[in-house]
Amino acid sequence: MPRVVIVGDRNSGKTTFLGLLYAAQVKFGSDKADGFRFHAAFESLDEISGVFQRLMSGSFPDAATKEGIREIAFRLSYPKTRLGVLSRRRSRGASPDPSASFQLILLRSFEDEVARWRSGGSVAHGTLSGALTSDAIVIMVDATSLAVADEEGELATLGKYDEAVEALLLAIKRSRDQAEGKLLYPIFVFTKFDRVDPKVLRRAKLDGDPPEVSKKGSHADYAKRLVDRSMPKTMSAIQSGGRRGLRFGTPWYFFSWVRTEEPLPGRAEKIRLRHSGAIGWEPDYPSDEYLSFLECLAGIAADTRP
Ligand SMILES: Nc1nc2c(ncn2[C@@H]2O[C@H](COP(=O)(O)OP(=O)(O)OP(=O)(O)O)[C@@H](O)[C@H]2O)c(=O)[nH]1
Ligand SMILES: [Mg+2]
């Protein structure tokens, strides 16, 4: 079962992302015409369905529901036709399996953990150790933390977070230097992209909205331009070669967001709901991005199958 580790800063939108991922699975799993099947095999089903219910009624995760989620296992089956990613791989001889299981592991207080480990602790103990044996690493980038460095300058780097992710990637590489022909897949997810500073996009010469996820090349280019500038150390760790041992795959990129209502003074921020055929009402979010994310995991499952 592929292990997918999620890293992100505190309050970066991790739980909301997982809740929306769940919502996308429910949406496509319940739409018969689509034939996309999701089997709820969550170990933390209570928590994730609690987050899901809040999102569906227009609220962000609360402190109680967001504490619980650490590890989520899920099983996904899908019709062969939907998965372009898979059919490409299948032609290279991988045996088609119409379903795949995943384990999503959320590393909590990621920066604290990295700091503790770098000041003398060991990465093999504590929650970071889960990352050492992962098949893919999901790197959350909070779009609201992207900023322009100065009037004429480039985008600012994400400093400490960039260094923390770089350190983790290099540690994973070191710990698996005997692995021959092994790939670790980096996946960047921009969260809260509805709140990205328009100045940042203008400075990077990007349109106000990312291209649709179906336009693979331009979608990736758009994201890469932001990641290259904000996470330079992480990117060079990913590109660092070496003839032996673990290598990093070409990164994948996704965008996560929900639209919110105009904030009312003194009230918690509300998610904007939209009408949806299958379910009634749902958050206003880019479900294609989450579906593609799941397809990406399915592709990784096909590649990592022993
Ligand atoms: N506008 C907007 N706000 C978001 C989005 N995602 C998260 N937020 C805001 O960010 C807050 C934190 O989101 P969570 O998903 O709980 O973040 P987290 O990373 O799980 O937080 P911790 O578990 O506490 O580290 C939410 O309460 C929202 O206010 C988004 O897509 N759009
Ligand atoms: Mg959380």
Contacts of 32 (CB under 8 A, 6+ apart): none
Q: Is 260 exposed, middle or buried (0-12, 13-18, 19+ CB in 10 A)?
A: middle
What CA–CA distance (Å, rounded) separates 264 from 91? 54
Residue nearest to atom 14 of ligand 1 (CA): 13
- DSSP of 10-36: TTSSHHHHHHHHHHHHHHHHH-TTTT-
- DSSP of 106-129: E-TTHHHHHHHHHTT--TTSSTTH
Per the model's pLDDT, the better-predicted residue between 294 and 230 turns out to be 230
Q: How many CB atoms lie within 10 A of CB 195?
A: 13
What's the confidence (pLDDT) of residue 229? 94
Find the distance separating the first CA and the last CA of the chain, reported in whole Å: 10
What CA–CA distance (Å, rounded) separates 89 from 186? 18
Per the model's pLDDT, the better-predicted residue between 24 and 252 turns out to be 252
What's the confidence (pLDDT) of residue 81? 45
Would you give the DSSP letter of residue 277? T
Residue nearest to atom 32 of ligand 1 (CA): 192
Instruction: Provide the pLDDT confidence category of residue 91 given band limits of 50, 70 and 90.
Output: very low
Residue in 9, 17, 59, 60 to alter for ligand 1 test, most ligand atoms within 8 A of Cβ:
60
Per the model's pLDDT, the better-predicted residue between 288 and 305 turns out to be 288
> Are the C-beta atoms of 230 and 188 separated by less than 8 Å?
no
Per residue, the 3-state secondary structure of 141-182, as one string, reads EEHHHCCECCCCCCECCCHHHHHHHHHHHHHHHHHCCCCCCC
pLDDT > 70? residue 77: no
What's the confidence (pLDDT) of residue 286? 96
What's the confidence (pLDDT) of residue 49? 82
Highest mean predicted confidence (pLDDT) among 45-54, 97-106, 232-241: 232-241
Q: How far is the CA of 67 from the centre of ligand 1 (A)?
A: 13
pLDDT > 90? residue 100: no
* Segment 248-291, tens digit of pLDDT: 999 999 999 999 998 888 888 899 999 987 668 999 999 999 98
H/E stretch holding 38: strand 37-39
Q: How far is the CA of 41 from the centre of ligand 2 (A)?
A: 20
CB within 6 Å of ligand 1 — which residues? 8, 10-16, 60-61, 66, 191-192, 194-195, 256-258, 260, 269
Structure tokens at 167: 């350190």
- Mean pLDDT for the stretch of residues 104-112: 79
What's the confidence (pLDDT) of residue 121? 72
Q: How far is the CA of 288 from the centre of ligand 2 (A)?
A: 22
* Ligand 1 atom nearest to CA at 285: 31
Q: How far is the CA of 147 from the centre of ligand 1 (A)?
A: 18
Highest mean predicted confidence (pLDDT) among 35-39, 123-127, 164-168: 164-168
Highest mean predicted confidence (pLDDT) among 47-51, 218-222, 260-264, 292-296: 218-222
Residue nearest to atom 7 of ligand 1 (CA): 13
| H helix count then E strand count, the chain | 11, 10
pLDDT > 50? residue 68: yes
pLDDT > 70? residue 110: yes
- Sign of the C-alpha dihedral, residues 187, 251, 84, 257? positive
Angle of CA points 221, 166, 1, to nearest 5°? 80
CA-based R_g, the chain, Å: 19
Q: How far is the CA of 66 from the centre of ligand 1 (A)?
A: 10
pLDDT > 90? residue 36: no
Least confident of 24-38, 73-87, 213-227, 264-278: 73-87
What's the confidence (pLDDT) of residue 130? 80
